[in-house]
Amino acid sequence: MATTVLVRGGSAAAVSVNRGADVPADPIPVYPVSSADTASAEHGQTTDAAERAASGALRGVRVAVLNFREPAQSAAGGAEQYAWQVGRHLVAEGASVHFLTAREPGQRRVEIRDGITLLRMGNRFTVYPLVWLWLLLHRRRFDAVIDSMNGVPFFSPLAVRRRTAVICLVHHVHARQFYAFFPRWLARIGCFIEGPIARLVYRRVMTVTVSESSRRELRERLRWTAPIRIVHNGSPAARAVPEPAEDVGDPALVYVGRLVGHKRVERVVDLAESLAPAWPGLRVHIVGQGPEHARLVEQTDARGLADRVRVHGFLPERDKDALLGGAMLNVTASEFEGWGLTVIEAAALGVPTVAYDVAGLRDSVRHGVTGWLVREGETLAEVVDRALRELADPVRRARVQQACRSWAAEFTWGRTGAAMTELIIAELDARGRRTPVLRPGGLDGGREFR
């Protein structure tokens, strides 16, 4: 069977999906392409031309999006943004979307936002069995499921009907992350679930990941046998940034993201001290929330860095953009990422990134063009110092800014959603189901198939 998917540059390509093979060849990766974006103030949401011109290709299709968090929650990150933006695009295409997720204290169990019905149940652990049971009880209600595997999947293929299209969404392999967060015995269970068990359950389920690094890790580390498509994250629209200064003066570094252990934010804080001799006016800004917030503030005060490091916590989008857009560099010390959404957010503002040469980040940072990667044998401080010296040249800085904005313009949420729409249609067709549409003049939401 062949279907049409979007590839870089906006062209279309026919991709043949072999359902009979246990280990299919990797099909052509799917890439979102450039389009105008207009940013929304809440949760960084965007609407671009692709979404505004949605064709209604999924009219009447009922989709369940499963993710253990949602964007309004305190620990939400890039995975939640991705799932939500895809859900919004599916709504724009005419689909009925339910977003099943965990519930934080004080949150309503049911809420409708952006046309998506949010159903919240359980905590970070119990959300998995509760969502699975709910899906089992309502399995006839859905035509398609997007099952987000953030280390642990929801095992939706065991709950829904065979004719229901399931797409497994994997941002990156979590093996090392389990050991960073949990006791060894629990981490081993997590690795077993993510590896052999998930591989068996999803062995013939279409899998989407967000970078070539993640695709490679799925194949090599998890021995994933299902077909894989690459559908990159989107990004906000490119926004105005200050003109390059003639003199760098007192440069600012910004970290934007969750404040959790594996992000190693303390290494970004360390830069204020290690680079002080060369850059006495250097300022470091930490933006985000998470369990490490209090410890970072305490350490900053204890080391006498309060005048050079500011831990802001959460900032509204406009304030975050203003701070990030005025910075010389975006810096991340994360050990593992599926892609690095904040890298592209910074690039949209013309701000390059320094990051470690690890999976995901080596895909989103174009070394020497839109940022710098810390390679083996180098330290974060050495590379940041080198980057600051390069950016002290206004001509070089202007060139890097333009490269960043051009790179970010290649990724929009509308095109990400369009690629996922194509995959859902292909999966419905593979099961002999045509896209359902509402009957003209129907009074009760009746459905028919094209």
d(CA 164, CA 12): 26
Tell me: pLDDT of 448 over 90: no
Encode pLDDT of 361-406 as tens digits. 999 999 999 999 999 999 999 999 999 999 999 999 999 999 999 9
What ranges do the domains of the chain cover? 2-236+411-440, 252-408
| Whole-number Å distance between alpha carbons of 429 and 359 | 34
Picking from 292, 411, 336, 421, the residue whose alpha carbon sits closest to that of residue 150 is 336
Beta pairing partners, 353: 330, 371
Q: CA nearest 222: which of 164, 290, 153?
A: 153
Reference 384, options 329, 334, 344; nearest CA is 329
So what's the pLDDT on residue 265?
A: 96
3-state secondary structure (DSSP) of residue 428: helix
pLDDT tier at 180 (50, 70, 90 boundaries)?
A: confident
Joined together, the tokens standing for residue 446 give 């009746």
Closest CA to 306 of 279, 285, 331: 285
Q: How far is CA 332 from the centre of its chain?
A: 15
**Which position has the higher pLDDT, 448 or 425?**
425
- Do 2-236+411-440 and 252-408 show the same overall fold? yes
The strand pairing partners of 15, in sequence order, are 3
Distance of alpha carbon 277 from alpha carbon 382, whole angstroms: 13
pLDDT band at 450 (very low <50, low <70, confident <90, very high): very low
Q: What pLDDT shows up at residue 23?
A: 37
Determine whether domain 2-236+411-440 maps to CATH 3.40.50.1460.
no
pLDDT of residue 176: 79
Find the mean pLDDT for residues 311-334.
94
Tokens of 241: 């940034």
- Give yes or no for residue 31 having a pLDDT over 50: no
- Summary mean pLDDT of the chain: 85
Lowest mean pLDDT among 157-166, 247-256, 276-285: 247-256
Q: Would you tell me how many other CB atoms lie within 10 Å of the CB of residue 30? A: 23
Q: Would you state the pLDDT for residue 241? A: 52
Torsion angle defined by CA atoms of residues 98, 65, 50 and 15, in that order, rounded to the nearest 10 degrees:
-140
Answer yes or no: is pLDDT of 206 > 50: yes
Q: How far apart are CA 426 and CA 21, in angstroms?
A: 17
Quote the percentage of the chain above a pLDDT of 70.
81
Q: What is the pTM of this model?
A: 0.80
Q: Is the dihedral of CA 210, 330, 408, 77 positive or negative?
A: positive
Residue 22, both tokens: 């246990």
Confidence of residue 181 (pLDDT cuts 50, 70, 90): confident
Q: Quote the pLDDT of residue 249.
A: 66
- Please give the CATH superfamily to which domain 252-408 belongs: Glycogen Phosphorylase B; (3.40.50.2000)
Dump pLDDT digits (tens) for 73-85. Answer: 988 888 999 999 9
